[in-house]
Structure 1
């Protein structure tokens, strides 16, 4: 009359699967409080490690180094996992109230299972992050390229002036060289030519910096621009900004172009190292285009 298909599954196999499933769920639910305690302690250790490495990073960034991309990723992951841990800890009272029968079962079994599983998986991630070692958190930053500036039409005879200025600039003991004169005589063009010449040959300088001072002198703005162009990080306030920049630049070889100066600029106030001696000379004049060189 018809076909009949019979399937037979051994009873002991079915019992084993159910037993394993219940054991797995029971492991997640019964040990929730214990696992949360371990998670909280492990997270505290991870935060302490993060704080220690962050202080180390700050010291190295203050010294002009650049943080490693790998370490930046680690910091972001620690911050993200901390938020997840806090979410789990904030829900602990609700989850514990659901448990019953010596915490082997739950009034909401699926919810407790998912919560307990999240605790275990999060704990493993925290442990993994804590096991990562960073002997080095920053390295030497790449030297910024010299910014090429657009040239105005060359004035007749300026090639000779450029050669003379460049030769003088490369002489030992030259600390400051100033250019001044009436408008339109080619001061900016000459200064730009010298700047662009450094693009082809840095002559061993770490930084070549161009700053427009302008008539409305703002020392803090100048200081901030210099720090930005040498990629100096670290938050400082007031006079500490100048000290911070000074301590960084005194270990470097740099050329600083100060354009459009109308009044005296105190180098100490903008964090520029300069030791005046008999081989150095200063010019302060209205409409001056001044270049400072630190060798």
Structure 2
């Protein structure tokens, strides 16, 4: 009989204890949120256990606020009994949450298969036809390294960006299984070196970085060797040894087998040959009509009209 009669006492003391417990739990939540913010900067995401704990905290927080509000605005023996019962139950939930040990607040998700890259200018009719040809070569099981060359400014990078983003759109629509586990976009340029290239690839794949180049190459190779991948190597000025980078040499794939492909763009036809690219696509300058349309799109009708 002692416990039921105890619910009839004034709830002030119980609510005070309840609020103190909730304040302590708020401190634990604050520390957890600080950890999650640091983890987010490192590219990590909260674990399912942490998400569940935070959701339960929100529920209890609302319950405590409701109990305090009911106590402040109501009185009477029956209402005191109700408030005391709810305070006791809520105190048990707070105690259980406070006892939970959250050893790992966040975890690193596997890298996304395709990441969007910013396209330089919209795909026109000519670019669309080139993209169609490029996609055909990528689907061809006999093509392993594909070369695209042409003078600066003809749209090599733009076509590669268009291919990347088109694969991203196909992956997000989920209409068909993705053609590749990973599409890796990298830019080399004149000042690119092995260390930078390895670092860019490792960051893209979420791999640990090493000072030793051979060790870094092994890290990349072990990750990619049993996966389908498309390696997009843009603006290549000299030959790159794929083995030194850690990229598995693309295998000749058959129907249903994993696909491993490399596409390089360069201003130098000789680089395509040295990379053993087959096939090799040459991009020419835009025709007069296409060049005028591009100029018109970039400058705008109003600027052209003023110039006239």
Decide which structure has the larger Cα Rg and report it: 1
Q: TM-score normalized by structure 1?
A: 0.47
Q: TM-score normalized by structure 2?
A: 0.45
